[in-house]
Amino acid sequence: MAYNLKEIVAKKPARFTAGHRMCAGCGAPPVARMIMRALKEEDHAVVANATGCMEVSTFIYPYSAWTDSYIHTAFECASATCSGAEAAYKAMKRQGKLPEDEHTKFIAFGGDGGTYDIGIQSLSGAMERGHDMTYVCYDNGAYMNTGIQRSSATPHFADTTTSPAGKVIPGKMQARKDLTEIMASHHLPYVAQSIGVNNFKDLYEKAEKAIYTEGPTFLNVLAPCPRGWGYPTDMLMEINKLAIDTCYWPLYEVENGKYKITYKPAKKLPIEEFLKPQRRFKHMFKPGNEWMIEEFQKEVDKRWQELLDLEEITNK
Amino acid sequence: MGIRERLSGNEASAIAMKQINPDVVAAFPITPSTEIPQYFSTFVSNGDVDTEFVAVESEHSAMSACIGAEAAGGRAMTATSANGLSLMWEMIYVASSLRLPIVMSLVNRAVSGPLNIHNDHSDAMGIRDSGWIMLFSENNQEAYDNLIMAHRIAEHKDVRLPLAVCQDGFITSHSIENIELIEDEKVKEFVGTYKPEHYLLNRKEPIAIGPLDLQSYLFEHKYQQAEAMRAAKKVIADVSADFEKLTGRKYSFFEEYRLDDAEIAIVCMNSTAGTTKVVVDELREQGVKAGLLKVRVFRPFPAEEIAKALSHVKAVAVLDKSDSLNAAGGALFEDVTSGMYVNNVHVPTVNYVYGIGGRDTTAKDIHGVYSDLQEIVKSGKADNPYRYFGLRK
């Protein structure tokens, strides 16, 4: 279905329903809802969810916000769990135990902790084995469910409860891991980086492509967290916009090895614009800490340039 | 009549899996169970089964994939040993709490550390409170037979619990012995097709599995697991009776070998029972009334039945192939003695930890245990109930 926000929202029912208990201003629920909307209405889905905010807020016994089939097992193994369900589907379909003309799609959701860190082995394994499934990482840049601990997705210098900005160590001293690139290096048929609120078209189209590309596909979607990032809950759209306009979070896709940047800001904003509204970066704006902003900017510029180069090289 | 063959315990287990023809097998190589997925993947490659073989990147993922597959509505199986089971441990509890009748072939090996690849029961004992049904097997025949019975037990509506079939690493997994296999068609008919009531791939009734389950409900859900384990006893008895009709091979919660008139008895599990039977026969020839109780069904634990079976003897030795490191005694010993106590059976009972890390268990060792028991009968005293045999001096 070609993207038109009004049409999509009016005509395709939400498969991820209201009534869940995620925070006001959280970036994750609109991501889940839009990705589930990208399913064809006649298709059924099995969703596997890693332990995390999304899981503990959408499936508290006896309530569920999911209208499709859903399974949660543990923190690090949404991919393996999903791969097992997909394997059963293949075997049962082959034996005629399931109707031939009806389709089930397999989607796994995990936060950055459950994906970049504790779940990366399970993810890498499932993707390498070629299961027909889509893995979605909703990346909020820390272990938010347990109370804002640093993960390998946490940005440089961010103040978290296990990388506190102190008198000697000013926050997280390492730059972020680039998981989208790691997944691109698995040579999957489709890998993309996207964003929720602010650019639903981008997310919807990438989700549709990911779900309906045969084989293992991966989506990394930025999902800001008002508690962990320290922005007012009504600022979600704006934070997302700043993430892409500063090129902190580039929107792009890798289709069969070809890179395509799906959003190039007309005017690339300085990184301060993204950092400033967030409490986790507050210490970077104290006098004498200008070097931190400079270093952050350098890293963003370097990665953006690498992406531009990759786009050029792979489309030659 | 069945098919006469000569197979190792691993081969026999793989053939049972072939005849069961599950929807998914997810496994990771680990000595000494590696051969099972090896043989099985050959069956897959040659089109002998309808199974999806998922060659996972770890045992944690093996159990996770089995959970996903079983929850989806398929039959899922795996095989592992020792550290593989340790890595699965988190998911072992998830599997039983989600009431998924996954079947595992557990080829027992010492859990690290230090690293050791040989047999003891420390892996199995690590999951004894996890809500898995656990069946132990003396030899290849029993490992095979227990697997054929496994799905009927695990999938029964009153049970719905995962099940592990244990056998001793190398001692039975790699020893080639005579075996009687059941014809493919008869196995198919005996095992039947899996018809789950609720499953992920039923699009007419989408379900959610594995909630956040807090103070209001978790207790009740755990109670239901306990009830299922209690109910499993009857189901195991019924399935074993059906199996006897099919094969003539009788299986109970435990095997009593020359126990009915015994004065001294050993309680043990798996291959040690074979050695013990030889020793019992030798002692009987000498006029010593020795007997054996070989536990087959370890979970659910038939406490009352075991207590009753031992009530007439004068001294008991429980052999544990795993040390609980609790300064009190091994797991089997504690289960047997507490079962005896609450059922008012007061027989002097001692524990021997033995065979750790593949230390050979000889007939001489078992003779030593029986002569210790004779001493206990004579003196009426059982000093130091927590003992060892086979340790280097």
CATH value at residue B355: 3.40.50.920
pLDDT digits (tens, 9 = 90+) for A278-295: 999 999 999 999 999 999
Sign of CA dihedral B3, B8, B13, B15: negative
Which of B72, B94, B211 is the closest to A85 by Cβ?
B72
The reply to whether B211 touches chain A by the CB within 8 Å rule is yes
| Averaged pLDDT, B261-265 | 98
pLDDT at A2: 74
- Residue-wise pLDDT tens digits, A54-82: 999 999 999 999 999 999 999 999 999 99
Are B280 and B156 found together in one domain? no
- The amino acid occupying position B256 is E
Chain A residue with Cα closest to B27: A84
Residues B45 and B127 in one domain: yes
pLDDT category, B175, cuts 50, 70, 90? very high
Euclidean distance between CA atoms B115 and A174, whole angstroms: 35
Residue with tokens 């006098």: A287
Mean pLDDT confidence for A171-176: 97
Q: Is residue B68 part of a domain?
A: yes
Tell me what the mean pLDDT of segment A18-36 comes to: 95
Residues of chain B contacting residue A74, judged by C-beta atoms under 8 Å apart: 64, 90-91, 94
B59 touches chain A (CB under 8 A): no
Instruction: Report the pLDDT value the prediction gives residue A56, as an integer from 0 to 100.
Output: 97
Does A55 sit within 8 Å of B214, measured CB to CB?
A: no
Looking at B247, B264, B295, the residue that finishes a domain is B247
Instruction: Tell me which residue of A196, A197, A160, A192 sits closest to A176, measured CA to CA.
Output: A160
Interchain CB distance below 8 Å, A88 and B72: yes
pLDDT in tens, B90-122: 999 999 999 999 999 999 999 999 999 999 999
| CATH code for the domain in which residue B55 is found | 3.40.50.970
Q: Is residue B177 part of a domain?
A: yes
Judge whether residue B147 has pLDDT over 80: yes
Residues in chain A: 316
B140 and B276 assigned to the same domain:
no
User: Over 80: is that where the pLDDT of B1 sits?
Assistant: no
Q: What percentage of chain B reaches a pLDDT higher than 70?
A: 100
Across B258-294, b (16+ Cβ under 10 Å) vs e yields: bbeebebbbbbbbbbbbbbbebbeebeeeebbbbbbb
CA torsion sign, B253 to B258 to B260 to B266? negative
A197 has a pLDDT exceeding 90:
no
Confidence bin at B210 (pLDDT 50/70/90): very high
Q: Are residues B262 and B232 in the same domain?
A: no
* B352 within domain boundaries: yes
A84–B76 CB contact, under 8 Å: yes
Q: Are A70 and B24 a contacting pair at CB < 8 A?
A: no
Amino acid at position A61, single letter: Y
Question: d(Cα B48, Cα B31) in Å, to the nearest integer?
Answer: 25
Same domain, B302 and B230: no
Q: What is the CATH number of the domain that holds A246?
A: 3.40.50.970
Do B8 and B64 share a structural domain?
yes
Locate A143 and state its tokens.
Answer: 């272990």
The verdict on B48 touching A (C-beta cutoff 8 Å) is: no
* pLDDT number for residue B173: 98
Per the structure, the count of domains in chain A is 1
Yes or no: say if B299 and B128 are a contact pair by the CB < 8 Å rule: yes
Which pLDDT band, with edges at 50, 70 and 90, does A1 fall under? low
A232-263 burial: b if 16+ Cβ within 10 Å, else e: eeebbbebbbbbbbbbbbbbbbbbeeebebbb
In whole numbers, what is the pLDDT of chain A averaged over residues? 96
pTM of the model: 0.98
Same domain, B80 and B215: yes
Same domain, B172 and B318: no
* Residue whose structure tokens are 């099972």: B36
Residues B47-58 have pLDDT tens digits of 999 999 999 999
pLDDT of residue A62: 96
- Asked whether the predicted pLDDT for residue B281 surpasses 70, the reply is yes
Distance CA B277, CA B289 (A): 13
Last-in-domain residue among B188, B219, B247:
B247
Domain of B352 in residue numbering reads as: 254-388
- C-alpha to C-alpha distance for A158 and A174, rounded to whole angstroms: 9
Separation CA B85–CA B89 (nearest Å): 6
Are both B232 and B286 inside the same structural domain?
no
Q: How many whole angstroms separate alpha carbon B174 and alpha carbon B168? A: 9
Say whether both B303 and B348 belong to one domain: yes
Provide the strand spans (E) within B31-121: 52-55, 76-80, 103-108
% of residues, chain A, pLDDT over 70: 100
Q: How confident is the model at residue B248 (pLDDT cuts 50, 70, 90)?
A: very high
Task: Choose the mutation target among A56, A59, A61 for the interface with B, i.e. most B CBs under 10 Å.
Answer: A61
* Domain identity same for B216 and B346: no
Q: Mean pLDDT in chain B?
A: 98
Count of H helices and E strands in chain A? 11, 8
- Mean pLDDT value of segment B24-35: 98
Q: How close A115 comes to chain B (CA, Å)?
A: 14
Taking alpha carbons only, the member of B65, B103, B99 closest to residue A78 is: B65
Q: Which amino acid is at B6?
A: R
* Residue B212 placed within a domain: yes
- Per the listing, tokens 């499993």 go with B232
Quick check: helix, strand or coil at residue B12? helix
**pLDDT of amino acid A224:** 97
Interface test with A, best of B41, B88, B89, B203 (most A CBs within 10 A): B203
Q: Quick check: B201 and A99 in contact, CB under 8 A?
A: no
What is the per-residue pLDDT for B393?
87
For B230, residues 6+ apart whose C-beta sits below 8 A from its C-beta are B300
The mean pLDDT value for B201-207 works out to 97
Beta-sheet strand order (sheet of B163-168) = B52-55, B24-27, B76-80, B103-108, B163-168, B133-136, B297-299
Last residue within a domain, chosen from B247, B281, B307: B247
CA distances (Å), origin B6, targets B12, B232, B293: 9, 32, 27
Q: Is residue B340 part of a domain?
A: yes
Beta bridge partners of B254: B295
Chain A CB contacts of B52 under 8 Å are 87-88, 90-91
Predicted confidence (pLDDT) at residue A198 exceeds the cutoff of 90? no
What is residue B73's predicted lDDT score, i.e. its pLDDT? 98
Q: How many domains does chain B have?
A: 2
**Co-location of B183 and B205 in the same domain:** yes
- The mean pLDDT of B148-173, rounded to a whole number, is 98
Chain A, chain B: beta-carbon pairs less than 8 Å apart? 164
For residue B67, which of A252, A82, A92 has the smallest C-alpha distance? A82
Mean pLDDT for the stretch of residues B29-41:
98
pLDDT-derived band at A4 (thresholds 50, 70, 90) equals confident
Q: Which of A125, A115, A127, A189 is nearest to A152 (CA)?
A: A115
pLDDT tens, position by position, B294-316: 999 999 999 999 999 999 999 99
Count CB neighbours of B41 within 10 A: 17
**Structural domain boundaries, residue A300:** 5-314
Confidence at residue A12, expressed as pLDDT on a 0 to 100 scale: 87
